[in-house]
A and B are shown apart, each in its own frame.
Chain A
Amino acid sequence: MTAHSASLMTAGSPRPDRLPAQFPQLLPADGRPAGLPAHLAAHGPLPYRGSAGRLIADVRESGLTGRGGAAFPAGRKMAAVAAAGREPVVVANGAESEPLSEKDVTLLRYSPHLVLDGLQLAAEAVGARRAVLYLHDDGSLHGRLNEILAERRSAGLDRTATDLVLAPPRFLSGQETAAVNVINGGPALPGFTPPRTFERGVGGLPTLMQNVETLAHLALIARYGAPWFRGAGTAVEPGSMLCTVRQAGGGSAVVQAALGTPLGDLLLLSDDVQAVLVGGYHGTWLPAGQARRLSLSNTALRPAGASAGAGVLAALPAGSCGLAETARVARYLALESAGQCGPCLNGLPRIATALGTVAWSRPDNRVTADLGRWAGLAERRGACHHPDGAVRFVRSALQVFAAEIRCHQRGACTAAAGQPFLPVPAGPADESDWRAPR
């Protein structure tokens, strides 16, 4: 497990005054976890609609998309589950496994009632009788959430029974089909689709799985309406999202930013920054100069080969070696492969080893040629998107740090042996931890 130490809207969130004031605040303004009385005082009681289906139109109109990374329209997903014909299950996915991301755990710690409200409302909207909150075991959070669930039960807030299920400490635990497997009592291994989760998921039933932040937005949309949600963000990508921002100078913060916010308002992009990683370890490296011209939206980022994803942003300081950083992360990603699919099982360790040669030896042209070929062989041939994300990350490094590769070929890098900048958890201890702690 990674240590979560995000500070809220404090150090490391430059110029918060430039964010529009009206957008829905997911995290408490006073920086203290919102208990039930404070939550009810701020937002009022749960606005149940009295029948299934009625919230879905509002969610569609709001333009809310999934905040777990895939940005799938939330209303369309809800409509698909509601139309599946059998009584569905709703899952709040809080098992963020990306080592750079801290926004889901921060949201669960500071605004748990907003997430649980959203889970209840989503359950009512699709006609579910069972709800699950799925998250990593970080030592204290799940115990606290169990207390909160009991508190809500005794206050009579929740109409749908909610179970808490713990995710194994693996990178792929939050992947949708892996999460379904864990909730069904199995290991955190991705499955082959179809069937899709919305057709056949938990207990074989149609399953609505939404990221915890998506549900928190949903709880606000249900109260304040779609037009209010659209008051922030862009016309194409409305609303706001939580971002985990890691500055080149160190330290990370979880900030809420409107879609369309310039990346330079979130990250301090001074001359001491050489590159920006957008989207975490399945994401994309961008040169700092390019990042300065881009904003937090898929419209802006997709032409650059990146996406807003789950809002993970990191600025790499000039004194770090991007190739060494990438090689360490690539090794971690290879170790976190579920090992089920041949191209991922064979490709990722070879890619990671070759990157190690690029970072710490004098790579000849054969190494870079191997890297390009293995990237092509690993891509789009797995059951899940793990190899695709790893390849996107590695390819962008080979482009952005191309000049650095030539330095390494001459034996000229002095930074590669320096302190790592990006956090890389130790690999899996043994095979048993694919299973959830009980």
Chain B
Amino acid sequence: MSQQLRVNPIACTGHGLCAELLPELITLDEWGYPVLDGRPVPRGLGGAARRAVASCPALALQLSPAP
């Protein structure tokens, strides 16, 4: 089953780790907040995505089944 990244924008405080760990899918806007590319996580990036989720200091990045 494909997975989707989502940010809880209330919890997110713009640490920016996610964009360093997963630059393929996450960039930072000019204020340091993550911009997700919106696609389901491609096969091959699942491990990196899980690492980015686990590393978020604010627990704001989430991985859930794609709709």
Chain A residues packing against B (C-beta within 8 Å): 191-192, 340-344, 346-347, 377, 381-383
CA–CA, A383 and B6, complex, Å: 11
**Which chain A positions have C-beta within 8 A of B30?**
377
Query: B33 near A192 (CB under 8 angstroms)?
Result: no
> Cβ of A192 and Cβ of B8 under 8 Å apart?
yes
B6 to A, closest residue via Cβ: A192
Do A343 and B31 touch across chains, with their CB atoms under 8 A apart? yes
Q: Is the CB of A343 within 8 A of B9?
A: yes
A377 to B14, CA, bound (A): 14
| B23 CB-CB contact with A under 8 Å | no
Q: Which residues of A contact B33 (CB under 8 A)?
A: 342-343, 346, 381
A343 touches B10 (CB 8 A): no
**Judging by beta carbons under 8 Å apart, are B9 and A341 in contact?**
yes
Q: Which of B1-49 contact A (CB under 8 A)?
A: 7-14, 29-33, 35
Pick 8 A–B contacts, CB within 8 A, sort by A.
Answer: A191-B10, A342-B12, A342-B14, A342-B29, A342-B32, A342-B33, A343-B33, A347-B31
Report how many residues on chain B are interfacial, defined by Cβ distance under 8 Å. 14
**Chain A residues whose C-beta falls within 8 Å of the C-beta of B32 in the assembled complex:** 342
Q: Give bound CA distance, A373 to B23, whole Å.
A: 21
Number of A-B contacts (CB under 8 A): 38
Complex interface: chain A residues within 8 A of B12 (CB):
341-342
Find chain B residues with CB under 8 A from A340 CB: 9-10
Give the complex CA separation of A252 and B34 in angstroms: 43
Query: Given the complex of chains A and B, what is the CA–CA distance between A377 and B35 in angstroms?
Result: 8
Q: Which residues of B contact A192 (CB under 8 A)?
A: 8-11
Complex Cα–Cα for A343 and B10 (A): 10
A383 CA to B7 CA, complexed, in Å:
9
Measured CA separation A318–B30 after assembly (Å): 38
| Residue pair B29, A343 in contact (C-beta under 8 Å) | yes
How close is B4's CB to chain A, nearest CB, in angstroms? 13
Q: Which of A191, A377, A382, A383 lies in contact with B29, CB distance below 8 A?
A: A377
Chain A residues, Cβ within 8 Å of B10: 191-192, 340-341, 383
User: Chain B contacts of A344 at CB under 8 A?
Assistant: 9
In the complex, the chain A residue whose C-beta lies closest to that of B14 is: A342
Residue of A nearest to B11 (CB): A192
Set of chain A residues within 8 Å of B11, measured between Cβ atoms? 192
Q: How far is the CA of A341 from the CA of B33 in the complex (A)?
A: 9
Most chain-A CB neighbours within 10 Å: which of B8, B10, B14? B10
Partner of B31 from A191, A342, A383 at Cβ < 8 Å = A342
- Bound CA span A342–B12, Å: 8
Find out whether the CB atom of B31 lies under 8 angstroms from the CB atom of A346.
yes
Those 7 A-B pairs whose CB atoms lie nearest each other, nearest first: A341-B9, A342-B33, A346-B31, A340-B10, A192-B8, A383-B10, A192-B10
Q: From residue A58, how far is it (CB to closest CB) to chain B in Å?
A: 32
A342 cross-chain contacts in B, Cβ below 8 A: 9, 12-14, 29, 31-33
CB-based nearest B residue for A346? B31
Q: In the complex, A381 Cα to B32 Cα: how many Å? A: 13
Bound complex: CA of A377 vs CA of B32, how far in Å?
11
Q: How far is the CA of A340 from the CA of B32 in the complex (A)?
A: 15
The reply to whether B14 and A383 contact each other, CB–CB distance below 8 Å, is no
Instruction: List, in ascending order, chain B residues with CB within 8 A of A341's CB.
Output: 9-10, 12
Task: List the A side residues contacting B8 at CB < 8 Å.
Answer: 192, 383
